[in-house]
Amino acid sequence: MIKFLDLQKINAQYAIELRQAANEVIDSGWFLQGERLSRFENDLANYIGVKHAIGVANGLDALRLILKAYIEMGVMQEGDEVIVPANTYIASILAITDNRLKPVLVEPDINTYNLDISLVQKHITPRTRAIMVVHLYGQICWGEELESVAQRYNLKIIEDNAQAIGAVYQPSYPEPSESDIKRSGSLGNAAGFSFYPGKNLGALGDSGAVTTNDDELAHLVRAIANYGSTKKYVNDYQGLNSRLDEIQAAFLGIKLKYLDAENQRRREIAQYYCENISNSKILLPYPANQKSEIRNQKSHVWHLFIIRTANRDKLQQYLAEHGVQTLIHYPIPPHKQLAYKHWNGITLPVTEKIHG
Ligand SMILES: *Cc1c(COP(=O)(O)O)cnc(C)c1O
């Protein structure tokens, strides 16, 4: 059987290094807030191209903490609005409502499945404070139009980079300078990462990170993630306990070295699928019409290879019978979840088409 995701096989490649790292952590007797975390935070900040990376407990917390820090800074307050794609994984939205902020659901582009940037402006109100972009399925969601709208209305842009670590944004204008070519996680004002085992950079358990160039935000996220404390037993903020363990930091430091190679392998596989799946009933993912270029398109790291088809359940069953496991990402959109009952009556046709 071809598994949807074989975590055993993925991690077996690095087993010797991972075991050695685990032994070192066990022998050190130091499990939190140590040198392995600092080293990984440094490596991650350098890799992404930002001043600060802060390890936290998971991806949801990374996003929650960014918003909490902005509230602490006075950038936003309870009841303010955050624009978010309606078809995201629910964690993006949970981070917003957990902070008593109001998610404003905006439809995605039916081709890319990413936030339709052209719809953002008409959802802006006097209470809008931020746009949360989600680089869904591994594909960067960014554009000059997004930057200019955010600038015009003085909005923060928060990247949910849980699915796209390693992706590179290249502006569409001709001959961009070296400094305009950036990794996801360095494009907005702050970014949340998830190292859930199934993500492109997966820990052997839960963990996440926040990246930013904003010194004050970085200071606050770090403090709030550690009981609101910068000095032991001195608490400046009402914080949480959301830290990245030494053992996970050690594992992630090892796996980060191989991330670019893993992402390139994903591109090769995506290219193979696009070149070899030829069926009028199957809609291939967006860049498939530029077949030969997938391998070189750094703006996509293929966290998932998403197809659409009218006979989804039948196709899934057929593939299962032939030893190919597939999953639906995602079967129920956030606004149809019981967790958000007050949204259950609204209609978001594009989102429902994708999820439906
Ligand atoms: C995985 C994911 C998260 C949450 O990350 P966890 O580490 O599972 O908390 C947030 N947003 C998106 C888009 C994700 O895919």
Q: What is the identity of the amino acid at 266? A: R
Q: How far is the CA of 177 from the centre of ligand 1 (A)?
A: 32
For residue range 26-75, list pLDDT tens digits in order. 999 999 999 999 999 999 999 999 999 999 999 999 999 999 999 999 99
Query: What's the pLDDT band for 291 if we cut at 50, 70, 90?
Result: low
Mutate to test the pocket of ligand 1, among 65, 66, 113, 194 (most ligand atoms within 8 A of CB): 194
Dist. CA 160 → ligand 1 center (Å): 8
Based on its alpha-carbon atoms, the radius of gyration of the chain, rounded to whole angstroms, reads: 20
**Among protein residues, the one whose CA lies closest to atom 2 of ligand 1:** 162
Return the minimum-mean-pLDDT range out of 109-118, 278-287, 332-341.
278-287
pLDDT tens-digit readout, 269-286: 999 999 999 999 999 998
Indicate if the pLDDT at residue 112 is higher than 90. Answer: yes
Per the prediction, the chain carries an average pLDDT of: 96
What's the angle, vertex CA 188, arms to CA 271 and CA 287, rounded to 5?
20
Q: Which atom of ligand 1 is nearest to the CA of 61?
A: 9
Question: Where do we find the tokens 């596989």?
Answer: 269
Is the pLDDT assigned to residue 292 strictly greater than 70?
Answer: no
> Which residues have CB under 8 Å from 75's CB, separation 6+?
129, 156
Pocket of ligand 1 (CB under 6 A): 58-60, 88-89, 91-92, 134, 160, 162-163, 194, 196, 206, 208
Nearest-angstrom CA–CA distance, 343 and 135: 23
Q: How far is the CA of 231 from the centre of ligand 1 (A)?
A: 30
Query: Which one of 5, 60, 65, 303 would you pick to mutate in the ligand 1 pocket, going by the greatest count of ligand atoms within 8 A of its CB?
Result: 60
User: Using 50, 70 and 90 to split pLDDT, how confident is the model at 189?
Assistant: very high
Is residue 103's pLDDT more than 90? yes
Q: Write down the pLDDT at residue 171.
A: 87
Ligand 1 atom having least distance to the Cα of 163: 15
Cβ contacts of 49 within 8 Å, gap of 6 or more = 182, 183, 186
Nearest ligand 1 atom, CA 88: 13
Q: How many angstroms separate the alpha carbon of residue 194 from the centre of ligand 1?
A: 5
Residue 289: its pLDDT value, please? 63
Q: How far apart are the C-alpha atoms of 3 and 8, rounded to whole Å?
A: 11
Amino acid found at 201:
L
Closest alpha carbon to 191 in 221, 219, 170, 171: 221
Distance 279 CA to ligand 1 centre (A): 32
How far is residue 52's CA from residue 44's CA, in Å, rounded to a whole number? Answer: 9
- DSSP, collapsed to helix, strand or coil, labels residue 171 as coil
Of ligand 1's listed atoms, the one at least distance from the Cα of 207 is: 7
Q: CB-based contacts of 232: which residues, under 8 Å, 6+ apart?
A: none
* Cross-strand partners of 156: 130
3-class DSSP assignment, residue 188: coil
Ligand 1 centre to CA of 162 (Å) is 5
pLDDT at 213 over 80: yes
pTM listed for this prediction: 0.97
For residue 17, how many other CB atoms are within 10 A of its CB?
16
Most informative mutation of 66, 92, 161 for ligand 1 (most atoms within 8 A of CB): 92
How far apart are the CA of 64 and the centre of ligand 1, in A? 11
- In eight-state DSSP terms, residue 288 is G
Six-digit token string for 296? 């070189």
Q: What percent of the chain has pLDDT over 70?
A: 99
SS3 11: helix
Cα separation, 59 vs 92, in Å, equals 9
CB 111 within 8 A of CB 126: no
Residue-wise pLDDT for 166-177, tens only, equals 999 988 888 888
Ligand 1 nearest atom to the CA of residue 206, by list position: 7
Cis before 330 (ω within 30): yes
Report yes or no: 107 and 351 within 8 Å, Cβ to Cβ.
yes
* Cα–ligand 1 centroid distance for 316 (angstroms): 24
Asked whether the predicted pLDDT for residue 312 surpasses 80, the reply is yes
Segments of 64-185 assigned E as strands: 81-85, 102-106, 128-134, 156-160, 168-169, 182-183
Average pLDDT, integer, range 124-136: 98
